[in-house]
Every structure is written in structure tokens, then in C-alpha cells.
Amino acid sequence: MAKTASNQMWGGRFASGPDAIMEAINASISYDQRLADQDIDGSLAHVAMLAKQGIVTAQDAEAIGQGLEQVRGEIAQGQFAFSAALEDIHMNVEARLKEIIGDPAGRLHTARSRNDQVATDFRLWVRGQCDAAIAGLEALIAALLAQAEAGADWVMPGFTHLQTAQPVTWGHHMLAYVEMFARDKSRLEDARARMNECPLGAAALAGTSFPIDRAATAQALGFDRPMGNSLDAVSDRDFALEFLSSATICAMHLSRMAEELVIWSSAQFRFVVLSDRFSTGSSIMPQKKNPDAAELIRAKIGRILGAQVALLTVMKGLPLAYSKDMQEDKEQVFDAADNLMLALAAMEGMVRDMTANQPALEAAAASGFSTATDLADWLVRVLGLPFREAHHVTGSIVAKAEAAGCDLPELPLSEMQSVHSGINDAVFEVLGVHNSVASRQSYGGTAPDQVRSQIAIWKERLE
């Protein structure tokens, strides 16, 4: 059998190259080429620092810098021939650099290892995804606030157990999601702040004997500081896990909202009309308008949570410092991030475009004895009944309304008085849905005044 040539980057002690299967299991270039920009940014910061410290000459650093920019351009234009024999993005870039500038290329890897290199590249990439997700959440929150503002006093049924509970306002329901997505945003901001330390200069695991300036490379790459322990720097991926756990929680929120849109857009609810731009048709049933985007958003948590479980499982039990297992950190994070951004953008578009059906919301709000709690509260407030007794009396009145086939506001006073003689005309004031929501003035409650003041608070916060 013909012997393949040994690896040009690390093959000094090898007599032959790898088996084809070895190459197949070892190579990450098919996916880590996504880190090309970060890899080149890291190398540019590194070589500038090496020159400043007198570790490489200014002339070599200049050639390396120019060569790296040429490589960046070739990759951006799709003119770069990625090679599996060169394993990963780091060695692909360096090998091409050598073709372009010759021997000085070999000086770039001084005082560095692929271990701190990949940790730096990936951190930069994940940091960028935090920023993208934060921007996506801000846009979604703005769309929700616009909906809340338009319908701050529209009434709709509030549910528990998906059974009619009490009337709420549309604006209040939209603001509930604003709160959730704002927490998702702050989780990403926290994760971003924690991950913003630079691994570069940790070298293979122990640091380096060259007089490098880690603060300089950290600063050049926009990090707050260098990481304080070289073993930790090359061997943890908790930054990616924090991103994934924030992404998973966000995907869970998106999934819940998507589920509501699926229900609300059905012919049975008709609470909202989704725009044509965010709906699809059926190839067999001409009448159909399906909420596919909402359904897909509802499902995205599957792969995002899957990525989190996968990476946690890869990392579990690994001894310090770097192990090749950690090459398995990237693909799922890429996939999770791509799908999170897509889900955020699709949800933002749907929320922006959707039309709430105000008459249908109002009709539904008044059905299902939704103001029964208001009646019980009235019995306590006006007639002085203990709440438990008021609850019981109200239950009997609801039973009468149910038997009469009407809702509470339509039940004759005499029927109510047959349950409790003290009830008078004034009770009808609390049985209407608008009065019901307007009365819930407690902080954070559903009253339109409360909703409007929360909208104002959010607008100020997001400025």
C-alpha cells in the first residue's frame, strides 16, 4: 500500500500519513470553516503583539498580516480550497499563508497553540451570537410593545388550565411576553459579560516562555481582560453552555408564544389573523391558511435543547486540560444559534404583521362566566360576606346562569336574589368585562392604566 505523506504541520515524528478513516474522524474543516473570520482576527492580534514584543520582526509581521488578509478575501469570495488533510480552519489558513508569503508564515504560531487558538476563535464567535440574539430580542420586544400599545384596553379572556378564568387586556398579555423576552435578553447579556475574557496566550495549556503581552491581544480582540488561568482557558466551554442554556430558555418562551398563535389563529378562536407573509397554504385543501412559522418556532426548542444536552455530555468527565473531545463542541452550537436567530426573526415578523380581532376577543372575554370572581369580590366588599361564602354563593349563581343558557350580566336580578337576598342592582356594574379589567389596578395588574404605565417603563428602559 502506498504511504501517504505525513502532516506538514505536526508530522515531524511520523513516517506516514493517516488512514482515510483517521482523517475522516479527525477533520473538522467541513464545519469549523465558519470560524475563519475569528481565526484570522485572532492571528492578526497575535502577530501584532509578537512584533510589538520583539518576538518576530516588524517585516515578518507585516508580511503575515497582509497574507492573512488575502486569505480572508479568498475565503469570503469562495475561492479557498479547504482541505480535510489539513484538519481544521487553523491549519488550513496557516498552510495557505505559507503558500502566499513563504517561510515567515511559520513564525505566526510562535507562543501559541491550536488549543488557545480555537478557544479564542469560538469564544469570539459565540460572543457575536450573543450580540445577534440580543438584537433579535430587542426587535421582538419592540414589536410586542407596538401590539400592547395598540390594544392596551382591548379585553380578552385570560386563561388558567386553558379554561376561561378572568378577563384581561390584550396589552397585558403582550406585556407578559415582553417581560419574558427581556429576561432572556438579560441572561444573554450576563453570559456575554462573563465570557468576555481572552484565552489567547494560554498556549497549549501551561502558558509560554516567550515575553508575550496577553493584555494587548485581549484588548485588540475586544475582550475585557485575559483569562487568569491557562489550564482553564484552553479547557472550558462553559461560555458556549451558558449561551445554549440562555438560548434554550428563550426557545421555550418562543415555543409557548408560538403555541398561543397557533391556537389563536384557528377558526375556533379567531383571536388573531396572521399575515399572508407568515402563513402557508395546503396543497389539497384550498381553504387552508396554516400557521407553519408558528409551528416551526414551537418546535425549535427540540434541537436547541438537544445541543445543550449534547455539549454538556461531551464536557462531562473530561480531565484538564484540552482533549480532542472538545472539537465536538461546535456543530451543535452553530445549529442552535442559526435556528434561534431564525426563530426570533420569524416571531418578530409574525407579531409585527398580525392583526388582533378585537370584536372576537371581546366576545370571548365576556363568555364563560369570566366575571364570576368580580361577583364574589362584590359580595365581600358590599355585603360583607366572608370570601368562602361569597365563593359558594357565586358558584350557585353561575349554575343558574348555566341552566338559563346565559352569561352573568344577562341573568335577571331576581334569579340572583333567590340565591342571596342582599344582592341589588349595583352588582351589574362589576359584571361587565370592561369594568372588571379596569378594577384590577394592583401593580402589574391587567387594568389599562397599569398596562400603559408598564409600556412607558419598557419604552424608557429600551431606549
Residue 38 binds to ligand ARG (criterion: CB under 6 A)? no
282 is catalytic: yes
Residue 118 binds to ligand ARG (criterion: CB under 6 A)? yes
User: Which one of 28, 92, 371, 446 is in contact with ligand ARG (CB under 6 A)?
Assistant: 28
Q: Which three cell numbers stand for residue 49?
A: 503583539
Q: Which three cell numbers stand for residue 375?
A: 361577583
Residue 88 binds to ligand ARG (criterion: CB under 6 A)? yes
Q: Which stretch binds ligand ARG (CB under 6 A): 41-49, 174-182, 268-276, 318-326?
A: 318-326
Cβ-in-10-Å burial (0-12, 13-18, 19+) of 12 comes to exposed
Of the two residues 114 and 214, which places its CB atom closer to ligand ARG in the complex?
114
Q: In sequence order, what DSSP letters do the residues of 137-201 get, joined into one string?
A: HHHHHHHHHHHHHHTTT-EEEEEETTEEEEEEEHHHHHHHHHHHHHHHHHHHHHHHHHH-EE-TT
Q: Which stretch binds ligand ARG (CB under 6 A): 103-111, 126-134, 255-263, 322-330?
A: 322-330
Q: How far is the CB of 153 from ligand ARG (least distance, A)?
A: 55
Q: Which stretch binds ligand ARG (CB under 6 A): 64-72, 110-118, 334-342, 452-460?
A: 110-118
Q: Which residue is it, cell 518576530?
A: 56
Q: Which stretch binds ligand ARG (CB under 6 A): 58-66, 114-122, 159-167, 239-247?
A: 114-122
| Cβ-based neighbour number of residue 163 at 10 Å | 8
323 is catalytic: no
Angle formed by the axes of helices 114-150 and 448-462, nearest 10°: 140
Residue 116 binds to ligand ARG (criterion: CB under 6 A)? no
Q: How far is the CB of 161 from ligand ARG (least distance, A)?
A: 48
Of the two residues 13 and 324, which places its CB atom closer to ligand ARG in the complex?
324
Residue 115 binds to ligand ARG (criterion: CB under 6 A)? yes
Separation of alpha carbons 191 and 258, rounded Å: 25
- DSSP letter at 291 equals -
Considering CB under 6 A, how many residues would be counted as binding ligand ARG?
10
Contact set for ligand ARG, span 347-406 (CB under 6 A): none
3-state class (DSSP) for residue 355: strand
Separation of alpha carbons 123 and 191, rounded Å: 11
Contact set for ligand ARG, span 325-354 (CB under 6 A): 326-327
Separation of alpha carbons 278 and 421, rounded Å: 55
Catalytic residue among 16, 282, 367, 396: 282
**Cα–Cα distance list, 224 to 95, 197, 199, 286 (Å):** 31, 6, 11, 57
> Pattern 48-87, binding to ligand ARG, x per CB under 6 A?
----------------------------------------
Residue 39 binds to ligand ARG (criterion: CB under 6 A)? no
Separation of alpha carbons 106 and 124, rounded Å: 24
3-state class (DSSP) for residue 165: strand
- DSSP letter at 179 equals H
Residue 114 binds to ligand ARG (criterion: CB under 6 A)? yes
Query: Residues interacting with ligand ARG, by CB under 6 A?
Result: 28, 32, 88, 114-115, 118, 322, 324, 326-327
